[in-house]
Structure 1
Amino acid sequence: MGVPAEPDPSRPQIVTLTMNPALDITTSVDTVQPTEKLRCETTRYDPGGGGINVARVVHVLGGSVSAVFPAGGPTGDLVMSLLGEAGVPFRHIPIAASTRESFTVNENTSGQQYRFVLPGPRLTSAEQKGCMDQLRTAAESAEFVVASGSLPPGVSGDYYQRVADICSHLGVRLILDTSGGGLQHVSSGVYLLKASVRELRECIGLPLATESEQFAAAHELVENGCAQVVLVSLGSQGALLATQHASHRFSAIPMLGGSGVGAGDAMVAAITVGLSRGWPLFKSVRLGIAAGAAMMMTPGTAACDRADVDKFFALCAEPSDVNDRDLY
């Protein structure tokens, strides 16, 4: 089941890998209270998980993309059906267990958001191998692979390092956005690593309370050969960019309210689209910040609107140098 992968000469430039996809369910209630029956409002269903979210935004921005992910059970069927309706090409690996759900509740009275994320199905060794084989096939003619999201139960922490090894062998640039063990076990082969401060803190094992400490941690990953570029997302505070030659700070676009769900995935998607167009890194990151801001305007985890991304991109300022070295 799925949209067939594109034949030559239209094979996707961008392939995304989502090892732990989800059916994202979003609803609202007036007030969240314990032990009470909470009468929810209209429910929204979206295909989710890091790489799937990235693929959806890439598609909206006109990029050539194919999503690779395992799927099983009724929730897996619905994820694939929703992706098909959105016109996003994909390759799925059938699994015995059911794809997980993620549940988000918006509280009307306070504006607070409550997010419940399930661990996901346990993948067998054969299912994990199937994901790797499909990725290898899809990536053979791609320019970029985006591996995004958590690793499900049963998957070894070094799985993304094996993905990096495949990308290095194929000459494909890998963009990685993950956390926990999936990040801690990566030592080489990543072109761009995107991490939040929390994820960077977990990886380095230090508090990283100041910007200088955050830059130092990002540069440590570059100097150790883990990634050529490290982008630290700071939410409403913008982003930090570290390369071998430079440190730069990007300002955020001021937004009034909105949900940040999926903003990081939108950022990664737009950066990858920019790079696939041959844009410089700075310009691509600015597009990523614009897409993250546009994501704040969408319900649930719906993909952002391309017109909003274009509008915010025009407002996104050039980065400021944190030192006197230029980015080469």
Structure 2
Amino acid sequence: MPDIVTLTMNPALDIATSAEAVVPTDKVRCSPPRHDPGGGGINVARVVRTLGGDALAVYPAGGPAGLALETLLERDGAPHRRIPIFGPTRESFTVDERRSGQQYRFVLPGPVLSEAEHKACLDGLAEAASDARFIVASGSLPSGVGADFYQKAADVAKGLGIRFVLDTSGEALRHMRSGVHLLKPSIRELREWTGSELRSEAQQIEAVRQLIGRGICEIIVISLGAEGALLVTEEMHERLAPIEVPVRSAVGAGDSMVAAITYGLARGLDLRNAIRLGMAAGAATVMTPGTELCRREDVERLYGASL
């Protein structure tokens, strides 16, 4: 059985291409497209496997895009459990503009899930994770799924005695009450969650400590982009310096960070080194084009250099 089971409630068929320039009205001639299975938890599972770990992705999918998503996961040899749904899986389209180096990301809306379908997702998660060590829930929630859904997933993890890792935002984040072992918001998501600008590091630490004190989570890792990351627990905090690399695409960088942190913890790394591994995976992902995720050799090189 896998050490890590991921949950992706709003997966996507990711399509990436490039064009010399993106301009209105005219036809935009594109390079041959790259297709990848996408969505937060699916990306997490893919990166865990890239690093040599054992992960299984649980996700709802339907329609032609859902079938294509399943085919791509099978192509990549990625263990997965598809929960069939009636609505079509969403598609995400990324265009890299060669002339400017800018990236354009078009994300189509996802399906509407029925109550029976999202209950089937929780049941499938509980069954798939019965012998796992970590559940990772990542990404947005589709229409039809209540904002408290991730709290229900955390309750599933608690019932199984499994550590729950969460990476989400908006209403799904605001509805969390308890049961999160490690939470990884960006600084933007933390500001939205708390309703405060949190301009200084001291303000950020104080806000996080209040959330920890309310029993929502045990550990918060705030991703600060080019400024690194901030680790906060009830007992300590530490600012971790960024890993500087050339940036090609930010797609999947946050998912890669979560994946490598969880993989590191599952392998017995201490918390600080697991986060450094996560930062290395995130940095390695921004070095790759389009929707491509990190490469193991890049992660290992960047992690070794950061110690």
TM class, shorter-chain normalised?
A: over 0.9
Deviations 1:38-58 (A, max 9, x none): 111221111000000000000
Q: CA deviation at 1:237?
A: 1.2
Q: What is the aligned partner in structure 2 of residue 121 from structure 1?
A: 111
Q: What is the aligned partner in structure 2 of residue 246 from structure 1?
A: 236
Q: CA deviation at 1:37?
A: 1.8
What are the ranges of 5 or more consecutive residues in structure 2 without an aligned counterpart? none
- Select which of 248, 256, 276 maps to 1:286: 276
Q: What is the aligned partner in structure 1 of residue 245 from structure 2?
A: 255
Q: CA deviation at 1:299?
A: 2.4
**Is 2:124 aligned against 1:134?**
yes
Secondary structure at the counterpart of residue 155 of structure 1: coil
- C-alpha distance in 1, partners of 2:105/2:198? 25
Q: CA deviation at 1:154?
A: 0.9
Deviations 1:142-195 (A, max 9, x none): 100000000001100000001111111111000000011110100100000000
After TM superposition, the structure 1 = structure 2 runs for residues 189-204 of structure 1, keeping only pairs within 5 Å, are 189-204=179-194
Q: CA deviation at 1:211?
A: 2.3
Secondary structure at the counterpart of residue 101 of structure 1: strand
After TM superposition, the structure 1 = structure 2 runs for residues 227-246 of structure 1, keeping only pairs within 5 Å, are 227-246=217-236
Secondary structure at the counterpart of residue 176 of structure 2: coil
Q: CA deviation at 1:109?
A: 1.1
After TM superposition, the structure 1 = structure 2 runs for residues 1-40 of structure 1, keeping only pairs within 5 Å, are 11-40=1-30
Deviations 1:59-78 (A, max 9, x none): 11111111000011111111
Deviations 1:262-321 (A, max 9, x none): 11100000001111111111111111011111112222222311111110011114xxxx
- C-alpha distance in 1, partners of 2:31/2:75? 24
- Count the aligned residue pairs: 307
Q: Is the 8 A contact 2:95 2:290 kept in 1?
A: no
- C-alpha distance in 2, partners of 1:237/1:116? 27
Q: Is the 8 A contact 1:219 1:230 kept in 2?
A: no
Q: CA deviation at 1:140?
A: 1.1
- Select which of 307, 312, 323 maps to 2:302: 312
Q: CA deviation at 1:110?
A: 1.0
Q: CA deviation at 1:31?
A: 1.6
Deviations 1:88-129 (A, max 9, x none): 100010011110001111111111111112221000111101
Same amino acid, percent of matched pairs: 56
- Select which of 133, 137, 149 maps to 2:139: 149
- C-alpha distance in 2, partners of 1:208/1:117? 29
**Is 2:108 aligned against 1:90?**
no
- C-alpha distance in 2, partners of 1:161/1:214? 24
- C-alpha distance in 1, partners of 2:190/2:229? 13
Q: What is the aligned partner in structure 1 of residue 55 from structure 2?
A: 65
What are the ranges of 5 or more consecutive residues in structure 1 without an aligned counterpart? 1-10, 318-328
Q: CA deviation at 1:213?
A: 2.2
Which stretch of the first structure deviates more once superposed, 65-74 or 112-121? 112-121
Deviations 1:194-240 (A, max 9, x none): 00011111111112223222222222211111110000001121100
- Select which of 39, 49, 55 maps to 1:49: 39
- C-alpha distance in 1, partners of 2:172/2:293? 25
Secondary structure at the counterpart of residue 183 of structure 1: helix
- C-alpha distance in 1, partners of 2:75/2:4? 20
Q: What is the aligned partner in structure 2 of residue 3 from structure 1?
A: none
Q: What is the aligned partner in structure 2 of residue 159 from structure 1?
A: 149
